[in-house]
Amino acid sequence: MRTSSVTQGIVDFMNTTRGFMDITQWLERYACSATESPQDDYTYLPIPSTKMTKDIRPRIYIYIYIRHSTKLYANGHKVSIFLEELKAAYGLQYDVEKIDISKNVQKEPWFIKLNPNGRIPTLVDRSRNNFNVFETAAILLYLEQHYDKEGRFAFDKDKDPDNWSEMLQWIFFAHGGVGPMQGQANHFNRAAPEDIPYAKKRYIDETKRLYGVLEIRLTDRDFLAGPGRGKYSLADINVLPWVRIHTFAGIESLDEWPHVKAWLETAQKRPAFEAGINVPPRT
């Protein structure tokens, strides 16, 4: 059993009727010794004391990395922004376990059981038989399905199938395009062990092209999916965190895409968006 997660900090998404427990309360209730024998299969997290009843156990864990500046973590911020939106809309509470990817914690056997791809963020829903979810778009859709009960951030796939489809199209556009291309631009501009001008230009140019696609869509709209000028939805949440860190990829300004710039500025005015960007908090 991996007991070091007690000291790293735990994501604790409690039932909204019970409210939020701070880490001190969590440790008092749930920390266990390295020799304690688990009574169930929760072997990848600290096992709650057998004296506690199951209904007060933490429900959902979100694993997010902490390394260098958390302000530049686009993939994790998709999830943390949406969790903050759900918190604002419905009162849901959550906490975060920080994963230090510089130490390859996400490649340890206990984590591979949660996410065979060894990436973060990863979600564990203990209220649904320890159901694990990886890939950020899949996590967003999962959270919307189970916790956005009023459909504030999506569309009804049965009653509103066209807008549901549009939302999925833009989610997949970002998941297969903006994220991978801008991620490569980040790498070759910031982390590559050698300077490769062709790679830098290739991925910056492709990221710019994709921003141009967003600009076309947003020319007469406020958001990517939905009728009229659109509705703030998972389609936006899934790509805005990437656009927000454009300078890290080598794109100094969004002036070339004024509607994209205005779209980002609108999102950044949302308290939940800004709160999500600050997850996990710097220590």
- CATH no. for residue 247? 1.20.1050.10
Predicted pLDDT at 147: 93
Residue 280 lies in a domain: no
The residue from 124, 147, 170 where one domain ends is: 147
Domain limit, last residue, from 87, 117, 147 = 147
Asked if residue 188 has pLDDT above 50, the reply is yes
HSE-CB at 24 with a 13 A cutoff on CA atoms is 0
> Which of 47-56, 114-123, 187-196, 273-282 is predicted least confidently?
47-56
Quote the CA–CA distance of 33 and 50 in Å, as a whole number.
Answer: 12
- Alpha-carbon distance 242 to 265, whole Å? 13
Q: Examine the pLDDT at 96 and tell me if it is beyond 90.
A: no
Do residue 121 and residue 223 come from a single domain? no
Supply the pLDDT for residue 153: 98
- As a whole-number percent, the residues of the chain with pLDDT over 70 amount to 74
Structure token pair of residue 60 = 């959902």
- Gap between the Cα atoms of 119 and 189, Å rounded: 22
Taking the C-alpha atoms of residue 185 and residue 246, their distance in angstroms, rounded to an integer, is 10
**Contact status, residue 233 vs residue 223, Cβ threshold 8 Å:** yes
Whether residues 142 and 10 fall in one domain: yes
- 167 and 133 within one domain: no
Measured between alpha carbons, how far is residue 221 from residues 17, 145, 226 in Å? Answer: 38, 26, 9
Q: Is residue 154 part of a domain?
A: no
Which residues, at least 6 apart from 220, have a Cβ–Cβ distance to it below 8 Å? 229
Q: Is the pLDDT at 6 greater than 80, yes or no?
A: no
Do 180 and 48 share a structural domain?
no
Pair (169, 131) in one structural domain = no
127 and 17 in a common domain = yes
Q: What pTM did the predictor assign?
A: 0.77
Highest mean pLDDT (candidates 27-41, 70-84, 237-251):
237-251
The answer to whether the beta carbons of residues 31 and 6 sit under 8 Å apart is: yes
Spatial strand order of the sheet with 131-134 comes to 96-99, 60-65, 122-125, 131-134
The pLDDT tens digits of the residues spanning 233-281 come to 999 999 999 999 999 999 999 999 999 999 999 999 999 999 999 887 7
Sign of the torsion formed by the C-alpha atoms of 102, 177, 161 and 78: positive
Are 113 and 222 in the same domain?
no
Report pLDDT digits (tens) over 49-66.
223 233 333 356 566 654
Predicted confidence at residue 170, as pLDDT, reads 98
Q: What is the mean pLDDT of residues 177-200?
A: 94
Given a contact cutoff of 8 angstroms between Cβ atoms, the answer to whether 57 and 16 are in contact is no
Q: What is the pLDDT of residue 41?
A: 30
Q: What six digits make up the tokens of 103? A: 């130490």
Question: In terms of domains, do 182 and 222 share one?
Answer: yes
The total domain count for the chain is: 2
The parent domain of residue 224 ranges over 161-270
